A and B are shown apart, each in its own frame.
Chain A
Amino acid sequence: MLAITAISVVKTRSLFAIVALSGVFSLLSALLFITWDAVDVAFTEAAVGAGISTVLMLGTLALTSRTEKESQKSNFFPLLAVILAGAVMIYGTLDMPNFGSSDTPVQTHVGPDYLQRIPQDIHVPNAVTAILASYRGYDTLGETAVVFAAGIGVLMLISGLRRRRNDDENEDSSSDTEDTT
């Protein structure tokens, strides 16, 4: 179903349908994460991928046009690049251990150590939260700082704080004059 959704995203010309389909894609991959027992990741995918980004894409759509332009260039080189990159990725997975095998570095390195220590150290049943916020507190602080920086960046680029300040000074000026100032 993920593949079908992806193909229809490529085939569709209406951007509105594409945004809706990418929301569907996010929801399907959230379901996939749930079957892999990664509930926290699934939760994030459903909330961020299917929820917020769909809304933001619709917001962008409202500013631009609603249909895709017909492509003029040939599709050969992009296709070649995609096939090459895909082949490299598949080649990379050959070295990976089998799915679900218990003797991988993921299962034997720090994972069991964390799982044993969390009940004594932190008394928090959800190990993901404990690792995220306590053992890996620096990383989460960094992530929060990244979100902060992204928000500030968007605000500086498109919300026009300076323009709003001008609005406060002369409330009744029309939008054209505001853009030029």
Chain B
Amino acid sequence: MRHHLILRVITKLLVGTIFLFALYVQFHGDYSPGGGFQAGVIMAVGFILYGIVFSVAKAQKVFPPWLVHKLIAFGVLLYSGTGIFSMLMGYAYLDYTAIDPQHPSHGQHLGILIVELGVGITVTGVMVAIYYAFASRTPVLSDEDW
């Protein structure tokens, strides 16, 4: 897509906005619609858009596959680790009161934030990994093929 000037300029503008919106959906999920799943998908869309317009190789330079694969597991570990943390503190598994026993509601708030972050990281990782897996098998198409 070397000659698609408009596409490339607009993409450069949009990718940052998409990431910002993903972060907003992620960390504002307890006040407004959205949460980890949606934020993860939006975040992944940012990388995928970059990959489509500029080339998968460039996207992989920004967000290398080994990091993506580690992040997939890290999100799940963050989620289940929160549960194990509350068990170690003497509460039930995934009882977020353990994070701040003096203010149970603060603990709940933080706990939700952390597990949603875990969900978001995993979803981002999986979506980007699936995209990489598809795109790196694709023979390079010329624009006329579409």
Contact = CB atoms under 8 A, between A and B. Distances in A.
A43 B33 contact: yes
Interface string A125-154: 110111011100110110111011011101
Contact of B126 (A51, A121, A141, A148): A148
B28 to A, nearest CB: 9
Given A122-B105, A129-B112, A130-B112, A148 B73 contact: yes
B41 interface: yes
A66 B125 CA distance: 29
A179 to B, nearest CB: 11
A48 interface: yes
Contacts of A52: 41, 44-45, 48, 127
Contacts of A4: none
B16 interface: no
A9 interface: no
A123 interface: yes
A159 B126 CA distance: 12
Contact of B94 (A51, A132, A137, A154): A137
28 contacts: A40-B35, A43-B34, A43-B38, A47-B42, A48-B37, A52-B41, A55-B52, A56-B130, A59-B131, A63-B137, A122-B108, A123-B106, A124-B31, A126-B32, A130-B108, A134-B96, A140-B79, A140-B115, A144-B76, A144-B122, A145-B76, A147-B122, A147-B123, A151-B72, A151-B125, A151-B129, A154-B129, A159-B133
